[in-house]
Amino acid sequence: MKKGRKFEFKSRKKGVIGRVVIGYRETGELQTMEVTLKSKGKYLQEEAMEMLFNALPKTLKKVEACQYFQVKELSPDKALNTRTFNYISDWTRIYLEMIGIKYKMSKKEAGMLMLVETTDDEIKMYLESSEWNMQGKTVTEFCRPEIQNTLKRLVAQLKNGTKEPAIVPDAQLESNLEGKALQEYWRKLRNAGYRLDKSGGKRNWVKGAPENKAPPKQPQASGEQEEKVQQQMNVLANKFRTV
């Protein structure tokens, strides 16, 4: 109901639980009614429903004069609730279209969707992505702040025709990864031209190939050493002549 007002009616009788919610049009006519009343643990039967309907105000003007119920006006539906419902609908629809199966969403995941602002393009981008940190294809992963930020950036870049920035080392990100995700992150760093440097007892990703180390210099023989070497060579030569 886009316009109008909603009221909650609760029975004053003991043993009757639940409520009736009636929506009235802006012009005052009854538009919707939701009954969840129970008497002695059972839902109302036909006769009791007729009595209930006769006792309820049929127009907005008669609400104030209602004496048989505790009456409370409900606040209008918040935009957040409508938005969240749309997100759930969009997610399940797009997931079915792209993955081919129905997505079973938990209450926790539905609550997580209340905290994000997203678009169809971002949902599609996430579901079709092969990025190492977007493999779960779940609402829980989709709603993570770092994933949301990445998706918004990627969609904006796609629309603006800009390229994805080069990957750079991030110690905090690396510490939060494990298994295949960590290996994929390392692979991307190496493909981007980084290498792991463990010099100095620390692990650092640095750009470029390792520096070529010059071979150690051979000590230069002194004149006395050269003379001794020559004498040893002469002795060996004489031995070979006597054989």
Domain ranges of the chain: 5-76, 80-160, 171-207
d(CA 23, CA 30): 6
Q: What is the pLDDT of residue 78?
A: 42
Q: Which tokens sit at 131?
A: 């990025």
Residue 194, CA atoms < 13 Å, CB-side half-sphere: 18
Q: What are 134's two structure tokens?
A: 């977007």
What are the DSSP calls for the chain, one per residue?
--SSEEEEEEE-STTEES-EEEEE-TTSBEEEEEE--EETTEE--HHHHHHHHHHS-SBGGGSTT--SEEEEEEPPPPHHHHHHHHHHHHHHHHHHHHHSS-----HHHHHHHTT----HHHHHHHHH---TT--S-SHHHHTSHHHHHHHHHHHHHHHHTPPPPPP---HHHHHT--HHHHHHHHHHHHHTTEEEE-GGG--EEEESPPPPPPPPPPPPPPHHHHHHHHHHHHHHHHHHHH-
pLDDT tens-digit readout, 142-159: 999 989 998 998 888 888
Contact between 70 and 39 under an 8 Å Cβ cutoff? The reply is no
181 burial via Cβ count (<10 Å: 0-12, 13-18, 19+): middle
Alpha-carbon span 167 to 161, nearest angstrom: 18
Taking the C-alpha atoms of residue 202 and residue 196, their distance in angstroms, rounded to an integer, is 10
The predicted pLDDT at position 234 comes to 72
pTM of the model: 0.41
The two tokens of residue 160 are: 């603006």
Tokens of 27: 């012009």
Write down the pLDDT at residue 80. 39
Spans in the chain with pLDDT lower than 50? 1, 78-80
Which two three-digit tokens encode residue 142? 């989709």
Q: In what order do the strands lie in the sheet with 5-11?
A: 30-35, 20-24, 5-11, 69-74
